[in-house]
Amino acid sequence: MPFQIRKIIFYVSIILGAFGAISIALYMYGSQTTLPPNFSVAGWRVGDMRYEAFQQQYNKRLEQLLAFPIQIDTSYPDIPNRQLTLGQLGIHYQNEALEQSLKQLFDSSPFERIKARWSLRHADIPLEVTVDEAQLVKAVKEAWSALYAQQPTPAKRIVTAQDSLTYEKEQNVLRVDIAHLLEHLQEIAPSISYINNTAPVRLTLPLYEQSPAITVESLTQQGIDGKISEFTTSFPLSGEGRIHNIRSTAASIQDLLMAPGETFDYSKIIAQTEAKFGYKEAPVILNGKLVPGIGGGICQVSSTLYNAVLRSGLEIVERRNHSLPVSYVPLGQDATFANGYINFKFRNNTDAFVLIRTITTEQAVTVKLFGHMTPSISYDIDSTIIETIQPPIKYLHNPSLRAGATQTISTGKVGYKVETYRTKRENGIIVEKKLISKDQYSPVPTLIAANQGNIKPEDGNQTESNQPLLEDGVKGPAFR
């Protein structure tokens, strides 16, 4: 064999031998059962540790870590210090990054294992920390239960006897700032290098003042700075049912607060009052006649409120007069209610909130409205009778009378057509006069009993309306 060929074979053999030796060395390097040198996990140095021993110690350290004490101190003498474990505070460790690294080192192809061992020889694998916020909140509330037993007290708007406004300041309470506490825990929790220390990690309990939803600032921002109108109507001492109905309905609108643009709906007040207090028996108006019923008196409250609204300049959305005149307000200045037919609504057309206050005595009901009105502005209400409607005569057949005889049963009452205007003044000078309503009150017929051949017996029993209209009450008549 020529010398040149032998030389080539010699060098090839050397190269193949070296390659084989390197391959064996690399295989042995990648097949090691220990962790790479200088390898650490969340600050814990575990380089050259056997994999099985690492797994045992790692699991033990996780248990120790979750049981590691955190001393939480406060600077308030009446708020106690507490010591809780990381596990109690909702700390959880996610080891996906570590598992991925270990998989590359011990459960992948030889090439990947070699590559991983080399690249991870100086690595410090972090442990991702998550905090179960619900568990943290629960632990905090249990640890400082006395703190959470205290509730913030809302501010109060007080209307004095002189109708001026004062405020009772809100009372704040201390609460644990969960968001900041969670951040502090996330900062200290990733490191497991300190678990061999005997002293707990110390934290200062982050606190803040919790205010109630209603504060003096929020109340003043509503813009209510004084009384803008007031109206009172009176009622007789008799009639316990009517007084109950008036007082209960007035109580339902006491301290009612209307935001700018909000519309008041009297039908909702009636429903709330009936559910909460119930209505008692008192006369109501049915098809223009006064009859026994339930809820009589509710329209005295709506009429009193209506007059206060008129004198405040607020916008009337819906209102109708009674079919018969009422005694407690001038003609044209009443507001009736018939469930499903007639309602009373008005809108807060100002930029400030409106507060409704009521006062009920044994003889009168008063409605006061508080809000904001320019001091130079005032309103006058004038109602004028433009027509008087004479009562018709209604004959009722009475066969017990002698033929051709008549007998007056009751004298009728006149009806009216009325116009009501609202006059706006600025510094006493009229700047606007607006027609508010045109109302008609039906006359009450004169009833005459007669025994005449042209009067049929059924004439006196005919109903005046196919659809009964009940006013000033919720139910009627209440005949027994």
**pLDDT band at 51, cuts 50/70/90?**
confident
How far apart are the C-alpha atoms of 435 and 416, rounded to whole Å?
A: 17
pLDDT score at 459: 45
In which domain, by residue range, is 194 found? 31-155+170-210
Cα 302 to Cα 382: distance, rounded to the nearest angstrom: 19
pLDDT tens per residue, range 427-437: 999 999 999 99
Establish if 11 belongs to a structural domain.
Answer: no
pLDDT digits (tens, 9 = 90+) for 330-349: 999 999 998 888 999 999 99
For range 264-273, the mean pLDDT:
96
226 touches 377 (CB < 8 A)? no
Mean predicted confidence (pLDDT) in 178-204: 79
The angle formed by the CA atoms of residues 57, 59 and 65, to the nearest 5 degrees, is: 100
Tens digit of each residue's pLDDT (9 = 90 or more) over 232-255: 999 877 688 889 999 999 999 999
pLDDT at residue 172, as a whole number? 97
Q: What are the phi and psi torsion angles at 13 (to 5°)?
A: -65, -40
- The two tokens of residue 297 are 């008196």
Same-domain pairing of 379 and 237 = yes
8 belongs to a structural domain:
no
Q: How far is it, in rounded angstroms, from Cα 302 to Cα 308? A: 10
Q: What is the pLDDT of residue 462?
A: 43
Residues near 266 by beta carbon (within 8 Å), at least 6 away in sequence: 302, 305, 335, 337, 343, 344, 345
- The CA distance from 339 to 333, in Å, is 20
Q: Are residues 201 and 281 in the same domain?
A: no
> Is the same domain home to 120 and 250?
no
Residue 283 is assigned to a structural domain of this protein: yes
pLDDT for residue 288 is more than 90: no
| 179 belongs to a structural domain | yes
Quote the number of domains for the chain: 2
Cα 232 to Cα 213: distance, rounded to the nearest angstrom? 34
Distance CA 116, CA 96 (A): 16
pTM above 0.85, yes or no: no
